[in-house]
A and B are shown apart, each in its own frame.
Chain A
Amino acid sequence: MQEHLSILLVVIPLVAAPIAAMLPRGRMPWMVTLMVTFICAILAGMQLWTVVHDGTISYELGGWAPPWGIEYRIDAVNAMVALIVAGIAALTLPYALLSVEKEIPERQIPLFYSAFLLCFTGLLGITQTGDIFNVFVFLEISSLSSYALISLGRKRQALTSAYQYLIMGTLGATFFLIGVGLIYSQTGTLNMMDLAERLPEVSGLKTVHTGFAFIMIGVALKLALFPLHLWLPNAYTYAPTVITIFLAATATKVALYVMLRILFTIFPDGFVSATPTGDLFILSGMAGILSASIYAIYQMDIKRLLAYSSVAQIGYMAMGIGFASAMGVTATIIHLFNHALMKGALFMAVGAIIYRIGVCRLDNIQGLGRQMPWTFGAIVISGLSLIGVPGTAGFVSKWYLVLAALEQEAWIAVAIILIGSLLAVVYMGKLIEALYFKPATETNLAVKEAPMLLLIPTGALVLANIYFGLDTELTVGVAERATQALGVAAK
């Protein structure tokens, strides 16, 4: 089984998806999905372990040797991202049971889980594959299923936001495909390692540059790089809670991984700094941090507030990419991991509030902090992590990012990272003020703490936030390995 690890991660959820759809209503589809996510999480853990100890895994699909056949090629980067995807899914699923029963009509539940598994397959597939066209295929699998999942939200706006996301996502995927086509026309290969070998010869060609631009913008759309983030707030706000948690913690991360792979592994060294790419990322990162954080301050809907905060956090990661140094990319990878932890925890805690009162506007949640102390605690701790207080995971990534910026002597970037943290204090402060310092309304006084099934996964993520804030051996170690694996030149 050991040698089939990487393919199993994709095949198991793919096979389980139609099974979940065919199962009778009730809790069976959930059980199946739960099992699948747990198995995948364990496999992903084993995969990371293998990669770290034995080096890169190369798996030939159907016995066809690369570059003719499709190759699954796993090194520290994708093993880590795959673990994030599978781990978050495994934590989301116990949470999903009650939340989904409350938010999704009963007859749609099997289909919901089926779509969830497809989305899961797609995201895992993107991380596993070493073939750029295959990335496109999995990108479409995950996107199409996530459009369906978002449209299942309770409000009618869910339909429009899913539609909007569909248009944007399709545009992104098309751009990606156009770019891949252009590059294929010059190199004649789709295998990533093969591309990396052949591209240096042709990297001066205008066609390659244009192809690169299309690919980069296509992926930037999927990862909601400012100002291509416009689909994200709506999608996160109106999607069912569980989907918001899952997508916020994984989808943009996977897209970010694709971006890293393309910029640093596939395209030759120095390509990022020889083209406007690096500056574009730094600029868009800085603009994103400032404007999205300010937008977040003015939101009344908490999910929307957190969605804008996600855009700002993506800005931090973009900045790290833009520096194009080993330190910057390490910071990005660490933040990729840590942001999955904190946003996962925050959306879960907010989901617990939605589970109890049905809405999550700032004026509806007044005084709930005292009614739901554990949920409130989770929001406070993961909020501190988001701000970047020492002792939490958020601090570690901000620290590395600031170091990377100092290394480049990018003083403005340093200032903006710090200002971004201050803005995060303001918007998290607004949330905490409403939850704790405002007097509770009559109806809120009757609200009880969320059920254990929601609290335990939330708590696990919150503890992870603290744990990875104190013990950085794992995150930093893996991230440094990952940076090496990507082929970023160390300075």
Chain B
Amino acid sequence: MSELPPFLLYFIAAFLVPASRGRVRKIILLVTPIVAALHIWLNIDTGVLSTYSVLNIELTFMRTDKLSLIFAYLFCLASFIATIFALQVNDTKQETAGLVYVGSALGAVFAGDLITLFIFWELLAISSVVFIWARGTERAIDTGMRYLIFQVLSGVFLLAGALVQYQATGSLAFDHIGLEGIASWLIFIAFGIKSAFPFLHNWLTDGYPEATATGTVFLSAFTTKVAVYALARGFAGEEILVYIGITMACFPIFYAVIENDLRKVLAYSLINQVGFMVTGIGIGTALALNGAVAHAFSDVIFKGLLFMTMGVVLHRVGHINGSSLGGLYKSMPKTTAFCIIGALSISAFPLFSGFVSKSMVMAALVQEDYSYLWLFMLFASAGVFHHAGIKIPYFAFFAHDSGLRPKEAPINMLIAMGLAATLCIFIGTQPQYLYSLLPWEADYWPYDVTHVLTQLQLLFFSALAFVWLNKRGIYPPELRSTNLDVEWIYRKFLPAGIHRGLIFFRNAKESTMTAAIAPMYSIRYSFSQSTIAKYHLSESWPTGSMVLWISIILVAYLLLDIFVYG
């Protein structure tokens, strides 16, 4: 039994779902994560290795150690919560895609070689885009296409890297890779795209806010976490990751503060949180790696919770613009409460899950003498509290009363949010259970005086800053605006540049035309009026040109053969 890869359970369910209807289908959807989790819990232990031979290559579908197991548990848990949340959606495409998506994420974390990883990497990309396309709007289809291009590109890099690696070493095993040679850089870029490195992150902020209300909950949990897993396995301890991670943690804050679409705010804050994990991986000590993994675990849950609350608002109100929401707490008290729990967790309040995981990364930074980087991280933590901890709940549920009185969330959504909120508090108060799952040996306990005090100071002062700015009217108001990010380069600048360039060349061509080639041009024109041209320049190629090609090739070949090769 231990050799049965868990992703198969999801893929089988993905076949059953379109074939069933109504209650049966919902039961399949709910039971799959439970069965998969039980299977992993009871049957699969560390150290399993099973291969399957395709194409003369051993595909390792199962390679388990504590690192892959903790991600597997996490994915089962996240898919269970997200499935409950999406239970009222009746859309075969999304339901099937969801199962394939989660299954591929599980397949990826158990993959023991680069080709298997590549297969699931691409499946993740293809199945996830369904959540964006399911929105059905023209905009969503365009966004989905851009998203897909990024994701597939990442897969192409991964495959290219794998091939070069195979050529160089003869091995496709997916273990520690390290940054040496072309192969590792190709793979690094592939992982980088999926984990939203700066300048490669636009698929995330572009795509996630366009997905369906329930789709974003799925999306936020898996793609980037698979990438974090892959980085942790392949590139732990590469120093460049520390700097990349810190950039990721800091720059989204500016965008998140001025962004109006609240789900886009969350998308930016997702990059910011992944930044903490990437930093942890870059430091590479046992404590830091544990911190990265633990933070991935708690992030999936609290970020999922926040996306769920925003999903509820989107579901009930129909849009998610901070400028025209507000006062929703009056009719949605429970959702508001859950949102606040999520906000407290992401801001790393003591007793909530973010605190117990993020403080590990911070402690590791100090231990490894990255003290000025530690200051940047402090800034990033304050920023998180600012945009995710205060801004999200404040503008959605409080602020000025927008007069909207939507109904409270449907019961299944409440259950899902309740589960996630409970977990946030549970992990925050009883971190020993999470710590026992962590892959590396490291003795750490977050609740000591220094940590708690530093964190509280930080939080209260940034709360103060928000209140002060808000009361003085200096805080950037929520405006309907489009904020420019790197994507501007390829969505506006490059097309416009190419357009300009083309116009320039056309003008240049025309001026040369009139000056020098005009007489020839007129001859050509009169020729084009002749019957020969009309007959020969039709859509298909004239027979004569083919004969010409034949003679060119024959002559060229013989000349080369005699004079160059002979």
Partner-B contacts on A (CB < 8 A): 157, 160-161, 164, 167-168, 171, 175, 206, 209-210, 213-214, 216-217, 220-221, 227-228, 230-231, 233-234, 274-276, 280, 389-391, 396, 399, 402-403, 406-407, 414, 418, 422, 425, 437, 470, 472, 476
Contacting pair A217 B163 (CB below 8 A)? no
Chain B contacts with A in 343-394, Cβ cutoff 8 A: none
Interface residues on B, range: 20 to 34
Residues of B within 8 A of A228 (CB): 546, 549-550, 553
Residues of B within 8 A of A399 (CB): 55
Contacting pair A214 B119 (CB below 8 A)? no
Q: Which of A213, A220, A391, A437 contacts B561 (CB 8 A)?
A: A213
Contacting pair B119 A390 (CB below 8 A)? yes
Residues of B within 8 A of A437 (CB): 141
With both beta carbons as reference points, the residue of chain A lying nearest to B545 in the complex is identified as A230
Given contacts A217-B554, A390-B119, contact A406 B167 (CB under 8 A): yes
CA distance A188 to B144 in the complex (A): 65
Contacting pair A227 B549 (CB below 8 A)? yes
Give 14 new A-B contacts, CB below 8 A, not counting A396-B55, A414-B163: A164-B540, A164-B543, A167-B546, A175-B554, A210-B558, A216-B557, A230-B540, A230-B545, A231-B546, A233-B540, A276-B565, A402-B163, A437-B141, A476-B55
Contacting pair A276 B163 (CB below 8 A)? no
Task: Assess whether B517 is interfacial by the CB under 8 Å rule.
Answer: no
CA distance A115 to B550 in the complex (A): 29
Contacting pair A274 B549 (CB below 8 A)? no
Residues of A within 8 A of B1 (CB): none
- Within the complex, what minimum Cβ distance (angstroms) separates B538 from chain A? 9
Contacting pair A230 B160 (CB below 8 A)? no
The majority secondary structure among interface residues of chain B is helix
Chain B contacts with A in 530-566, Cβ cutoff 8 A: 540-541, 543, 545-547, 549-550, 553-554, 557-558, 560-562, 564-566
Task: Assess whether B122 is interfacial by the CB under 8 Å rule.
Answer: yes
Chain B contacts with A in 398-433, Cβ cutoff 8 A: none
CA distance A160 to B540 in the complex (A): 10
CA distance A275 to B566 in the complex (A): 8
- Within the complex, what minimum Cβ distance (angstroms) separates B404 from chain A? 33
Task: Assess whether B164 is interfacial by the CB under 8 Å rule.
Answer: yes
CA distance A274 to B561 in the complex (A): 9
CA distance A431 to B163 in the complex (A): 30
Contacting pair B557 A280 (CB below 8 A)? yes
Residues of A within 8 A of B558 (CB): 209-210, 213
Residues of B within 8 A of A168 (CB): 543, 546
Residues of A within 8 A of B562 (CB): 206, 209
Given contacts A402-B163, A437-B141, A476-B56, contact A230 B541 (CB under 8 A): yes
Contacting pair B540 A161 (CB below 8 A)? yes
- Within the complex, what minimum Cβ distance (angstroms) separates A471 from chain B? 8
Contacting pair B554 A406 (CB below 8 A)? no
Partner-A contacts on B (CB < 8 A): 54-56, 115, 118-119, 122, 141, 152, 156, 160, 163-164, 167, 540-541, 543, 545-547, 549-550, 553-554, 557-558, 560-562, 564-566
Q: Which of B540, B549, B550, B560 contacts A276 (CB 8 A)?
A: B560
- Within the complex, what minimum Cβ distance (angstroms) separates B121 from chain A? 10
Residues of A within 8 A of B547 (CB): 167, 171
With both beta carbons as reference points, the residue of chain B lying nearest to A421 in the complex is identified as B156
Residues of B within 8 A of A470 (CB): 54
Given contacts A168-B543, A228-B553, contact A472 B54 (CB under 8 A): yes
- Within the complex, what minimum Cβ distance (angstroms) separates B161 from chain A? 12
- Within the complex, what minimum Cβ distance (angstroms) separates B152 from chain A? 7
Q: Which of A221, A389, A406 contacts B550 (CB 8 A)?
A: A221
Contacting pair A230 B554 (CB below 8 A)? no
With both beta carbons as reference points, the residue of chain A lying nearest to B118 in the complex is identified as A390
Residues of B within 8 A of A396 (CB): 55
Q: Which 5 A-B pairs have the closest CB atoms?
A: A276-B560, A230-B541, A230-B546, A406-B167, A472-B55
The majority secondary structure among interface residues of chain A is helix
Residues of A within 8 A of B561 (CB): 209, 213, 275-276
CA distance A476 to B554 in the complex (A): 34
Contacting pair A171 B152 (CB below 8 A)? no
With both beta carbons as reference points, the residue of chain B lying nearest to A415 in the complex is identified as B160
Contacting pair A390 B541 (CB below 8 A)? no
- Within the complex, what minimum Cβ distance (angstroms) separates A287 from chain B? 12
Contacting pair B550 A171 (CB below 8 A)? yes
Residues of B within 8 A of A227 (CB): 549, 553
CA distance A378 to B554 in the complex (A): 41
Residues of B within 8 A of A213 (CB): 554, 557-558, 561
With both beta carbons as reference points, the residue of chain A lying nearest to B152 in the complex is identified as A425
With both beta carbons as reference points, the residue of chain B lying nearest to A390 in the complex is identified as B119
A to B CB contacts below 8 Å, 18 in the list: A157-B540, A164-B540, A164-B546, A167-B546, A167-B547, A175-B554, A206-B562, A209-B558, A213-B558, A214-B554, A228-B550, A274-B565, A390-B119, A399-B55, A403-B167, A407-B167, A422-B156, A437-B141
Residues of A within 8 A of B565 (CB): 274-276
- Within the complex, what minimum Cβ distance (angstroms) separates A297 from chain B? 15
- Within the complex, what minimum Cβ distance (angstroms) separates B434 from chain A? 35
Residues of B within 8 A of A210 (CB): 558
- Within the complex, what minimum Cβ distance (angstroms) separates A205 from chain B? 11
Residues of B within 8 A of A391 (CB): 119
Contacting pair B156 A418 (CB below 8 A)? yes
CA distance A65 to B119 in the complex (A): 54
CA distance A490 to B122 in the complex (A): 34
Contacting pair B550 A217 (CB below 8 A)? yes
Residues of B within 8 A of A216 (CB): 557
CA distance A390 to B545 in the complex (A): 39
Residues of A within 8 A of B540 (CB): 157, 160-161, 164, 230, 233-234
Contacting pair B156 A230 (CB below 8 A)? no
Contacting pair A276 B564 (CB below 8 A)? yes
Among A213, A275, A390, A414, the most chain B Cβ lie within 10 Å of the Cβ of A390
- Within the complex, what minimum Cβ distance (angstroms) separates A134 from chain B? 24
CA distance A161 to B541 in the complex (A): 10
Residues of A within 8 A of B163 (CB): 402-403, 406, 414
CA distance A338 to B118 in the complex (A): 22
- Within the complex, what minimum Cβ distance (angstroms) separates A429 from chain B? 9
CA distance A175 to B547 in the complex (A): 12
Residues of A within 8 A of B160 (CB): 414, 418
Residues of B within 8 A of A280 (CB): 553, 557
- Within the complex, what minimum Cβ distance (angstroms) separates A437 from chain B? 7
- Within the complex, what minimum Cβ distance (angstroms) separates A167 from chain B? 5
Contacting pair A389 B122 (CB below 8 A)? yes
Residues of B within 8 A of A220 (CB): 553
CA distance A315 to B141 in the complex (A): 33
Residues of B within 8 A of A407 (CB): 167
Residues of A within 8 A of B550 (CB): 171, 175, 217, 221, 228
- Within the complex, what minimum Cβ distance (angstroms) separates B361 from chain A? 36
Residues of B within 8 A of A171 (CB): 547, 550
CA distance A210 to B141 in the complex (A): 56
Residues of A within 8 A of B553 (CB): 217, 220, 227-228, 280
With both beta carbons as reference points, the residue of chain A lying nearest to B141 in the complex is identified as A437
CA distance A214 to B56 in the complex (A): 39
Residues of A within 8 A of B560 (CB): 276
Residues of B within 8 A of A406 (CB): 163-164, 167
Given contacts A391-B119, A403-B163, contact A276 B543 (CB under 8 A): no
With both beta carbons as reference points, the residue of chain B lying nearest to A422 in the complex is identified as B156
CA distance A437 to B163 in the complex (A): 35
Residues of A within 8 A of B549 (CB): 227-228, 230
Residues of B within 8 A of A167 (CB): 543, 546-547
- Within the complex, what minimum Cβ distance (angstroms) separates B7 from chain A? 14
